């Protein structure tokens, strides 16, 4: 499969192999065991947001599932998830967690830009910082549309456009615009190799979603809870900033029937 991957995907797979060894691998079981669904760096509870449709009995594909804890949370609520991820080490951790906790579902090693699963076979496509920031939006949104049944929903979490606009080349976001919005798309951050990310404006999300047959259902702008503290590892946004401005955005869209 590696021969078919884009240079960006190959580079991102290296990053995630290392991240798995250092952080996500050791942390995975704890995430799988979490009872409440929480969104993003500051873990805004799903019970408060209501961003997901009812998942019981639904076929769900998680695009860029990583260690697949989100799929596990949905499986515990009666969904039938399939996890898709590029990085073998992440999927190996997911398999270890499956065996440990007895929650089994299929895991597919593939890029979310080119998914080897049939058309119209899912009710919900989900991405929590997976395809949503690591894949070319023109490609992965088209794949999500292809994989969904008519009326199916797409829910995905990204760093907010505002947070990216306020991000200096290195360090955490500041209270001042740092870069132009027009032309934003593919990002390579200077300094340590953080791989290749994709961030676009709200207008561009709406254009791409609608071109692929989606209607927008909601855009949840996440606010850090009053007692939130800085995350020990994900330092892009401080808790104080995220209490004042939306640092993360959760999109929900429905494929036209
Ligand atoms: C922040 S994790 C998101 C997954 C999960 N929510 C988590 O936090 O572990 C990002 C994941 O995206 C995956 N990824 C990066 N590029 C990808 C691509 N082109 N196709 C599928 N997965 C990709 C990485 O391997 C990594 O596991």
DSSP code of 53? Answer: P
pTM, two decimal places:
0.97
Beta strands in 28-75 (DSSP E): 38-39, 44-45, 59-63
Q: How far apart are CA 20 and CA 66, in angstroms?
A: 9
H/E segment holding residue 101: helix 88-101
Distance 41 CA to ligand 1 centre (A): 15
| Ordered per-residue pLDDT tens for the chain, 257 residues | 445 899 999 999 999 999 999 999 999 999 999 999 999 999 999 999 999 999 999 999 999 999 999 999 999 999 999 999 999 999 999 999 999 999 999 999 999 999 999 999 999 999 999 999 999 999 999 999 999 999 999 999 999 999 999 999 988 999 999 999 999 999 999 887 889 999 999 999 999 999 999 999 999 999 999 999 998 888 889 999 999 999 999 999 999 99
Residue nearest ligand 1's atom 10 by CA:
130
Which atom of ligand 1 approaches the CA of 20 most closely? 27
CATH of the domain at 99: 3.40.50.150
Ligand 1 touching residue 20 (CB < 6 A) = no
Using alpha carbons only, give the angle 89, 42, 104 rounded to the nearest 5 degrees: 40
What the block records as the tokens of 198 is: 């994709």
Angle at 107 (CA atoms; ends 85, 44), nearest 5 degrees: 65
- Determine contact, residues 62/91, Cβ cutoff 8 Å: no
Q: Does the C-beta of 40 come closer than 6 Å to ligand 1? A: no
Nearest to 129 by CA among 53, 198, 193: 198
What domain range includes position 134?
2-255
Burial of 7 (0-12, 13-18, 19+ CB in 10 A): exposed
Distance CA 182, CA 100 (A): 47
Helix (H) / strand (E) containing 157? strand 148-159
Residue with tokens 């449709």: 53
Give 102-129 as a DSSP string. Answer: T----EEES-TTS--S-TT-EEEEEEES
Q: State whether the beta carbon of 135 lies less than 6 angstroms from ligand 1.
A: yes
What integer pLDDT is reported at residue 194 of this predicted model? 87
Residue matched to tokens 């593939």:
110
pLDDT of 235: 83
Question: What is the domain count for the chain?
Answer: 1
What would you report as the CA-atom Rg of the chain, rounded to the nearest whole angstrom? 17
């Amino acid at each position: 499969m590696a021969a078919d991957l884009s240079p960006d995907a190959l580079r991102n797979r290296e990053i995630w192999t290392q991240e798995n060894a250092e952080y996500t691998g050791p942390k995975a079981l704890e995430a799988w065991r979490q009872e409440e669904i929480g969104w993003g760096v500051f873990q805004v509870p799903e019970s408060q947001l209501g961003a997901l449709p009812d998942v019981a009995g639904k076929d769900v594909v998680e695009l860029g599932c990583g260690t697949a804890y989100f799929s596990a949370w949905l499986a515990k609520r009666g969904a039938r998830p399939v996890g898709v991820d590029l990085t073998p080490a992440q999927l190996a951790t997911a398999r270890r967690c499956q065996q440990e906790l007895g929650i089994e579902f299929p895991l597919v090693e593939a890029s979310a830009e080119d998914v080897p699963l049939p058309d119209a076979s899912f009710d919900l496509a989900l991405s929590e910082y997976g395809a949503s920031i690591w894949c070319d939006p023109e490609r992965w949104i088209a794949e999500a549309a292809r994989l969904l049944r008519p009326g199916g929903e797409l829910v995905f979490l990204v760093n907010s456009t505002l947070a990216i606009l306020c991000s200096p080349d290195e360090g955490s976001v500041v209270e001042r615009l740092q870069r132009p919005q027009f032309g934003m798309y593919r990002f390579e951050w200077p300094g340590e190799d953080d791989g290749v990310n994709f961030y676009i404006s709200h207008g561009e999300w709406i254009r791409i979603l609608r071109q692929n047959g989606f209607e927008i259902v909601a855009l949840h702008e996440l606010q850090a809870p009053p007692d939130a503290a800085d995350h020990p590892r994900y330092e892009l946004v401080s808790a104080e900033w995220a209490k004042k401005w939306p640092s993360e955005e959760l999109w929900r869209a429905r494929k036209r029937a």
